[in-house]
Amino acid sequence: MYSQGLIGADGRTAEDQDFLNRFQARIDDEQKIEPNDPMPEGYRRTLVRQIGQHAHSEIVGMLPEGNWITRAPSLRRKASLLAKVQDEGGHGLYLYSAAETLGVSREQMTEELLTGKAKYSSIFNYPTLSWADIGTIGWLVDGAAIMNQIPLCRCSYGPYARAMIRICKEESFHQRQGYEIVMKLAQGSPEQKAMAQESLDRFWQPVLMMFGPPDSESQNTDQSTRWKIKRFTNDELRQKFVDATVPQAEFLGLTIPDPDLKWNEDKQGFDFGPIDWDEFWRVVKGKGPMNRQRVEARQKAWDDGAWVREAALAHAEKRRAMAAE
Ligand code: FAQ
């Protein structure tokens, strides 16, 4: 995710202190920034990076679950999984459109993804090895996504905030369908319960990593919070997620794989054990279990779709020529 390229950097914006102060005053006043409004180049670039990575995550995120559509255990499960994966594709499309309002094209963003310049969420570089993983992804990955994305509905950039409202509604359905799958397994045979537990064991740490590095290592949080792109820090959201999820696991009769997990009366939240940040950075830098396969799948889809893009352009050109006659 998070393109670090120079997409859209025009280097021409006059950003004297007066301009920056006026912009910050609009942000502090909770005014929404719209595509044609003047904005600092850094604000625009931060949004292109974040929205672009978010869009890529939604699209790449279709792959681990898509892997199970043909193997879903019943027609009902297949229909809801199909709908869920399709929703994620829709989210990617709204988000690419939101990023395009900032002057970057879908082609540029895709190129950055395929060349590895732009990132996507680390979580999608893990494989889905069992049916229980589909439940765990809905329950925990969509659960973490909602925790992170509800505050984005109040992001200062109008098109991103508005896209997030619909996305969050759909994500909450996804979270429930995942929780229901895990619940059925947890209440099923000992083998099914063991499958749910094994999946939770594998996904717990990678899910906590979704919120990004600890605040002390997060280079973007301070500025993004000042611009009200982010409303909470990475650690704050991670803590909220843990506090919301522990009682859900207890209800399911599953054990969160963390011996240090303990209720802390003083902070009214759970303490939890260390996260393997070396693994996080390895995955972010392209060395996760599925990075290569994920990018190859996107490259193939882009290549296979070339004729559609060419046909659509030729059609648009023909219509333009006819209208001009
Ligand atoms: N993976 O300075 P920060 C979903 C990078 S959607 C990879 O803290 P920031 C739905 C970060 O880019 C999931 N890289 O960064 C679904 C930066 O590097 P850079 C995606 C990561 O932007 C469910 C560096 O580390 N959600 O799941 C990750 O302020 C099921 C330092 O980090 C969003 O994208 C990571 N996890 O905060 C779909 C939400 N974390 O770019 C299908 C929007 C950090 O400077 C199936 N994004 N990095 O080179 C955000 O809220 C923020 O971008 C954060 C990161 C919170 C993710």
- Coil, strand or helix at 227: coil
The reported pLDDT for the residue numbered 263 is: 98
**Phi, psi dihedral angles at 63 (to 5 degrees):** -70, -50
Q: Which of 2, 69, 147, 219 to mutate for ligand 1's pocket (most ligand atoms within 8 Å of CB)?
A: 2
What number does the ligand 1 atom closest to the CA of 64 have? 46
What number does the ligand 1 atom closest to the CA of 142 have? 23
Is the confidence at residue 12, as pLDDT, over 70? no
User: Measured between alpha carbons, how far is 124 from 60 in angstroms, rounded to an integer?
Assistant: 7
pTM: 0.94
Average pLDDT in the chain: 95
What number does the ligand 1 atom closest to the CA of 230 have? 51
- The CA 122 to ligand 1 mean position distance, Å, reads 8
- Angle separating helix axes 106-114 and 291-304, nearest 10 degrees: 140
Is residue 288 packed enough to be buried (19+ CB in 10 Å), middle (13-18) or exposed (0-12)? buried
Percent of the chain with pLDDT over 70: 96
- The CA 236 to ligand 1 mean position distance, Å, reads 14
Ligand 1 pocket (Cβ < 6 Å) reads: 1-2, 4, 49-50, 53-54, 57-58, 61, 88, 119, 121-122, 137, 141-142, 145, 148, 209-213, 218-221, 224, 234, 284
- The CA 119 to ligand 1 mean position distance, Å, reads 8
The two tokens of residue 52 are 């672009």
User: Measured between alpha carbons, how far is 83 from 86 in angstroms, rounded to an integer?
Assistant: 5
Residue 210 pLDDT class (50, 70, 90 cuts): very high
Q: What is the mean pLDDT of residues 307-322?
A: 96
| C-alpha pair distances (Å), 60 with each of 3, 294, 296 | 15, 7, 11
Alpha helices in 187-265 (DSSP H): 190-209, 221-226, 234-252
- The CA 223 to ligand 1 mean position distance, Å, reads 15
- The CA 189 to ligand 1 mean position distance, Å, reads 37
| C-alpha pair distances (Å), 103 with each of 9, 20, 96, 97, 240 | 9, 20, 11, 10, 34
- The CA 112 to ligand 1 mean position distance, Å, reads 16
The reported pLDDT for the residue numbered 2 is: 38
* Atom 31 of ligand 1, residue of closest alpha carbon: 218
Residue 15 pLDDT class (50, 70, 90 cuts): confident
User: Measured between alpha carbons, how far is 133 from 12 in angstroms, rounded to an integer?
Assistant: 48
- The CA 80 to ligand 1 mean position distance, Å, reads 26
Residues ≥6 apart with Cβ < 8 Å to 92: 55, 56, 58, 59, 62
The 10 Å Cβ neighbour count of residue 294 is: 22
| C-alpha pair distances (Å), 66 with each of 14, 72, 124, 127, 323 | 46, 10, 12, 11, 42
In the numeric block, the tokens 């396969």 are attached to 293
Percent of the chain with pLDDT over 90: 95
Q: Which of 121, 227, 233, 238 to mutate for ligand 1's pocket (most ligand atoms within 8 Å of CB)?
A: 121
- The CA 148 to ligand 1 mean position distance, Å, reads 10
State the DSSP string of 81-142.
HHHHHHHHHHHHHHHHHHHHTTT--HHHHHHHHHTTSS---GGGGS---SHHHHHHIIIIIH
Q: List 33's β-bridge partners, or say none.
A: 157
* Atom 12 of ligand 1, residue of closest alpha carbon: 2
CA angle 282, 286, 292 (to 5 degrees): 135
Is the confidence at residue 56, as pLDDT, over 90? yes
Q: What is the mean pLDDT of residues 35-49?
A: 96
The reported pLDDT for the residue numbered 226 is: 97
Contact (Cβ atoms closer than 8 angstroms) between residue 125 and residue 207 = no
pLDDT in tens, 117-147: 999 999 999 999 999 999 999 999 999 999 9
Is residue 308 packed enough to be buried (19+ CB in 10 Å), middle (13-18) or exposed (0-12)? exposed
